[in-house]
Structure 1
């Protein structure tokens, strides 16, 4: 009805979006940004002319399927492609309008059947994907594990984390490694600092200036800016070496179905460190 409000209205609009996205290819209309990804990655595939396409995460997924159609329309032999699903997409909590999650969920459900192979990060996720998408074969499991060896970096490039921060060995230092996203609980660490006198927190985080500034602003509000540090990523082979001087590693991921269905890489990095 016109002008209705509240949870029932929200559920109704979401149901309509879900229904619309279920039509073949309609996810492009529900969330047009997917079409932009599709166009951009498709141009890259055409230019590269690869022998095989390895789709990492969801964003190149539509382009890989489109590249198949592009070659078929020109009488060219197909190029095999693999969908490497990094997370449980139906359970991801994406920023912005709910339309984004609805459309990506529909795109995966449609296009996963066109892939020549599917890769999951845990056996449990592989079983869940096969059942959810009614796949003929169980996805292959490739654990998203870090390097087992600690590879030091050239001192001219980076020093161990504690050394870079100028902290003595007796200063408690917590470290977070990964994307600076609110759904990953990064703000929780800053909010905890007033309750942890003398403890420092270091983020080895993504270069997003907005996310970094948000953490700095929050630290300033709580008067803990001198105990909150943000540093740039290091090469994957050197992560465990770089963070091993910290007192403890923290994985503050907020509870979402995606976070609960896979073991985060940062946990293994902390164990190895």
Structure 2
């Protein structure tokens, strides 16, 4: 299995790896090491290996060239600008030391004058360098727009090699590891690892081995917000996905609607297998110690709303903080995968500005087997995502986690999720990014929580939202693919 993250915060890939191992497969889950060091551990019967990824291609080829025409004063790419600044600081220190030793102003005057000229000249060049680097990083110049159009016209989907060569960093880091493992089946999670899996499959075929490729599409790429701010990034990912999707022997995804959209987009001959990322509610569920309220430092009678998930701005978790001044006594727990990210820090700073910092609790993830009992201590779960195409079609992981925790949900009015909540009555819907309407929805739930909780006994199909049923779909798919491979080896084609 391949995934481009560090595994620990990704409940879907962890459950897939454990379930495949429990079904009798030898599973190695390869992820990207956040520390830059190789790591390995056991996950149930699977092995997790984190691969160091050398990020060399984050800068595009033209960003490594000197901007003679665009900014002739800018320093060339590399360490020279920093070296000149350091050189100026050393010169300043030397002059100050000479003055401290008793050198006269007259004796130091020529050196001071030379220093000022050097400082002014290098400062001018450093400023030009920063401006050039910012313009190139934003690709907002006319030459950048022309270059993007040229490469897309000349190379089509293959233009990702110019638009976002950072995709090569994943291939060059993971590819040799996959080849060494000599797998029978590669399960590539999400769009960035699709290329790694497809190339490994093609190399194996060239060497006489039949390797099956399963592409697990977590997102509808055209409808998602870019992970990076560069305007070329999304076009590059789309081209990369288009190039390698035809090499998948089977496609897996997270919802029926997304399956249909992927079939139409890529001209798939079969509808992708739907494996929803629902909680594992088997006997292996673990009780977290300490629990959610203890970690927040609050008692059982304190109203508590919770957000659980990645801290991305388009996920809208800052609305919990914005609403707190109008929700006296209510606390907010933000359970996030990356507490150190700048967006989380800004949210905490905003809480301090509003005078509610003592009611905001930033917590780290717990192991996926502990998630449901951990969340069950909250009074309500919040899904405040913004209107992006990918958000409109999804039933996201936290929705199922809140449901199994049997806590009322407050969701924004994205199409699929809000429609389901209105049908089941398990929560309230509010207008996305509208703090006043969000506050209204939270008050409605806190004023009458039992009305919403009753929906779990009467209208919410929790029995269908269990990982055991989803895992069987996945392992059955593996069996069909590898069974077909075995039959072909026994009765080879002419």
TM-score, length basis structure 1:
0.87
Q: Does 1:257 align with 2:416?
A: no
Q: After superposition, where does 1:223-262 map in structure 2 within 5 Å?
A: 223-262=355-394
Q: Of residues 163, 168, 179 in structure 2, which corresponds to 1:35?
A: 168
SS in 1 for 2:334: strand
What per-residue deviation string (whole Å, max 9, x for no partner) do you get for residues 51-96 of structure 1? 21111112211111111232244x2313111000011111010131
Contact 1:65-1:115 at 8 Å conserved across structures: yes
Q: CA deviation at 1:41?
A: 2.1
Q: Does 1:85 align with 2:217?
A: yes
The range that moved more, 206-215 or 104-113, is: 206-215
Q: Of residues 316, 319, 324 in structure 2, which corresponds to 1:185?
A: 316
**1 or 2, which has the higher helix percentage?**
2
Q: CA deviation at 1:16?
A: 2.3
Instruction: Give the whole-Å Cα distance in 2 for the aligned partners of 1:52 and 1:235.
Output: 27
Q: Does 1:161 align with 2:292?
A: yes
**Greater Rg by CA:** 2
Q: Does 1:102 align with 2:239?
A: no
Contact 1:159-1:242 at 8 Å conserved across structures: no
What runs of 5+ residues in structure 1 fail to find an aligned partner? Answer: 1-8
SS in 2 for 1:93: coil
Instruction: Give the whole-Å Cα distance in 2 for the aligned partners of 1:22 and 1:254.
Output: 34
TM-score, length basis structure 2:
0.50
> Which structure has more RCO (C-alpha within 8 Å, separation ≥ 6)?
1
Contact 2:151-2:159 at 8 Å conserved across structures: no
Instruction: Give the whole-Å Cα distance in 2 for the aligned partners of 1:61 and 1:152.
Output: 33
SS in 2 for 1:119: strand
- The number of equivalent residue pairs is 262
What runs of 5+ residues in structure 2 fail to find an aligned partner? Answer: 1-141, 406-494
Change (3 A) 1:123 1:62: same
Q: Does 1:120 align with 2:253?
A: yes
- 2:337 match: 206
Q: Does 1:111 align with 2:244?
A: yes
Q: Does 1:272 align with 2:404?
A: yes
Instruction: Give the whole-Å Cα distance in 2 for the aligned partners of 1:22 and 1:222.
Output: 51
